[in-house]
Structure 1
Amino acid sequence: MTDRERTDQEPRWDRDFVQEVMTRSELLELLADRPRTARELADQLEMARSTVHRAADALEAHGLVEKPADRFESTGLGDVVADELRTFRTNLEAARRIEPFLNTIDDSAPELPIEHFTDATVTCSGHRQAHVGIKRITELIEATDSLRMFSSIISPLYVDVARREILDGMEIEVIFDQQVIEIILEQHVEEAMEAFETGRFEVYVAENVPFELFLFDERVGLAAHDESGIARAFVETTDAGARTWAESLYAEYAADTDAFRME
């Protein structure tokens, strides 16, 4: 086979392989769990046995399935592909769940470990309920004993609830970009001074904060804002993997900050 022939044929094989895998994914995943007869497959997939045989034959042609006796079973390659299909499906479900957040953040934002957001709760703000996301965030601030966060925006609602909770004993460590610091100095000086005096409010300055990240006691929160500063989507989860990722991301930004002090 010449190099030109190989180049022409390999993409076609890839397309055929992927098409069969996606079309027969349910059958392949069933066989990856354990070998099954054609009747068992037909019953579980609710299809005719003749259709099952055709589908299994197609997968067998690609080395994904074999039939050493009276049962179909997955090959080693079939097992790997089935695992990848499950991961793919999980990631798709998670991406659809947090779609409002993904569609609002900037393209340059850090990549999310989508697989850890399958069970996330998403609060979306609409035209008639523009502040429902911020309301949920303030509820979680009130319910936590400590908070670490970074943000490129600041809401008067945040200022009020954070000041009140700090005076009541809560500890807050926050990373703001320079624009937020300027807003604090212009509009919230008295509240910030009062919070600083408690010793429980630490502020750091960073550049290019991608979205809002909240590390509450029990959960992780992510908020995406539109150009007017409204939190269009707030994502929250208690997933341990999401927590690990969020802790790492926060530490990454914290390592490149300067402490801010009121003078």
Structure 2
Amino acid sequence: MQDHGTAGTDLLVGLVKRSPVLAELRSGRLDRREFGRRLDVSIATSYRLAGWLTERDLIADSDGAFALTALGEVIADVASGFETDVRTALRPAAATPDLLADLIRYSAMLEALGEEPLDRRELERRLNVSRATSHRYTRSLEELNAIERADGGFALTALGAAVTDAVSTFETNARIALTLAPVLEAIRETTPDFDIGVFADATVTSAEHGDAYGPMARFVSLLEETETVRGFDTFSIAPTYVGEFQQRILDGMETEIIDPPAVTENVMDNYPEKCVQVCASEHFALLIHDDLPYGLVIFDDRVGIGVRETDARTLRAFVDTDSAAAREWAEAVYGFYRQKAVRLETFTKKGLREAMAAARRGDRAHVVGAVQHLPGSARRGTATRDNS
């Protein structure tokens, strides 16, 4: 996974150390008293645990009871899978939360030794750790039979390779889940059995570190490599009036976009010339849907999700992948919303009102219906600057 801005080791350690709390909540909501009783901790400790998890949007307090959020459900599943993988690899050793946390701390050392055997001095140099820390880590990993001494240095054992894979899978899936957190609720509403692992090899472009336009730049770079684009609420990722997006459409990139009515009206009001240019193109089809959950885009070879905080104006991240499983998921979700969308036949305020009225009436002449993968066969709308 390539990632510009990811969850640090301390957060991942915190997640696995508190995973028993998430596991308890998998069975349903718990009030404060039952929450403390199930965990067998003091009231003060239960409040600290609940506070930490609530601050990170893993649980929510509703009417005096705690429940998992969508992010909490995913992290609970990811942590459970991590525990199972480690327990399977280390039999008969118990995969306690403390052990899982230690393995995350040892992650960099495991990865380094997975590439090649290294002596202690080289380990310390590569990992930038003290001699005392390297001794502590290697001693613990030797006790687990995860590493062994070889030619004056250390090498991974077969068991260590399995543990390294388990740690890597957990870190990748947890970081993807944390990145997708603002849209996970919507994703799980449309796809209850959504597997975060389909984005395991994703490229994550974050707006952190002062690069507010990094996610949109990543989207634009993918536009340059594709001949077709389908998506919904792509305005939240990169509006169609953005120069690069507009030019690709005018150059022949087959494009089908589903947008909320308010977005379409905004473009008509504020960018009329650009709206006319794009909407009149034979390569562009615009559909309307008034309840879109997040930004989704399907390119020739990749699919992507735009991640935006509620009411935020800029993207938090753009997550894209060439995973076949992710593409299958994206096609299904896009098809679901496309089937209920309304094609905008005339790019005017009047045309927009008529389209939405047709949708409310259930007029099948305007509702798109069966999924079409490209707009080429769709009847084109006409573009005018009539704002009536």
TM-score interval, smaller chain: 0.5 to 0.7
Distance 1:127 1:193, change over 3 A: same
Between 106-115 and 121-130, the greater mean CA deviation after superposition: 106-115
Distance 1:241 1:28, change over 3 A: farther
- In structure 2, the partner of 1:118 is 200
Decide whether the 8 Å contact of 1:220 with 1:243 is kept in 2. yes
| Counterparts of 1:207 and 1:88, CA distance in 2 | 42
- In structure 1, the partner of 2:143 is 47
1:176 pairs with 226, 247, 259, which one?
A: 259
- Superposition deviation, residue 213 in structure 1: 0.7
Residue deviations 1:210-241 (CA, integer Å, cap 9, x gap): 11111001111111113232111111110101
| Counterparts of 1:97 and 1:21, CA distance in 2 | 19
1:25 pairs with 88, 107, 110, which one?
A: 88
- Counterpart of 1:27, as a letter, is L
- Counterpart of 2:321, as a letter, is T
Q: Say which structure, 1 or 2, has more relative contact order (CA 8 Å, 6+ apart).
A: 1
- Using the size of structure 2 for normalisation, the TM-score is 0.45
| Counterparts of 1:225 and 1:117, CA distance in 2 | 17
- In structure 2, the partner of 1:6 is none
- In structure 1, the partner of 2:180 is 102
- In structure 2, the partner of 1:142 is 224
Distance 1:248 1:89, change over 3 A: farther
- In structure 1, the partner of 2:373 is none
Find the residue that maps to 1:164 and give its secondary structure: helix
Aligned length: 199
Residue 243 of structure 1 pairs with residue 327 of structure 2: yes
Q: In angstroms, what is the RMSD of aligned CA positions? A: 3.5
- Superposition deviation, residue 208 in structure 1: 2.0
Residue 161 of structure 1 pairs with residue 224 of structure 2: no
Decide whether the 8 Å contact of 1:147 with 1:216 is kept in 2. yes
Find the residue that maps to 1:104 and give its secondary structure: helix
Structure 1: 5+ residue runs without aligned partners?
Answer: 1-10, 12-17, 30-44, 50-84
Residue 262 of structure 1 pairs with residue 339 of structure 2: no
Residue 203 of structure 1 pairs with residue 286 of structure 2: yes
| Counterparts of 2:187 and 2:222, CA distance in 1 | 24
- Counterpart of 1:140, as a letter, is L
Decide whether the 8 Å contact of 1:177 with 1:208 is kept in 2. yes
- Counterpart of 2:143, as a letter, is M
| Counterparts of 2:253 and 2:243, CA distance in 1 | 13
Between 181-190 and 104-113, the greater mean CA deviation after superposition: 104-113
Identity of counterpart residues, as a percentage?
Answer: 30
Find the residue that maps to 1:163 and give its secondary structure: helix
- Counterpart of 1:115, as a letter, is G
Decide whether the 8 Å contact of 2:240 with 2:246 is kept in 1. no
| Counterparts of 1:204 and 1:262, CA distance in 2 | 11
| Counterparts of 2:185 and 2:144, CA distance in 1 | 46
- Superposition deviation, residue 105 in structure 1: 2.0
- Counterpart of 1:144, as a letter, is T
- In structure 2, the partner of 1:75 is none
Decide whether the 8 Å contact of 2:234 with 2:297 is kept in 1. no
Find the residue that maps to 1:107 and give its secondary structure: helix
Decide whether the 8 Å contact of 1:225 with 1:231 is kept in 2. yes
Residue deviations 1:45-79 (CA, integer Å, cap 9, x gap): 74389xxxxxxxxxxxxxxxxxxxxxxxxxxxxxx
Decide whether the 8 Å contact of 1:133 with 1:233 is kept in 2. yes
| Counterparts of 2:209 and 2:167, CA distance in 1 | 32
Find the residue that maps to 2:316 and give its secondary structure: strand
Find the residue that maps to 2:183 and give its secondary structure: coil
Structure 2: 5+ residue runs without aligned partners?
Answer: 1-37, 39-80, 93-140, 146-162, 349-388
- Superposition deviation, residue 169 in structure 1: 1.2
Between 109-118 and 213-222, the greater mean CA deviation after superposition: 109-118
Residue 192 of structure 1 pairs with residue 270 of structure 2: no
Find the residue that maps to 2:185 and give its secondary structure: coil
- Superposition deviation, residue 145 in structure 1: 0.7
- Superposition deviation, residue 209 in structure 1: 1.2
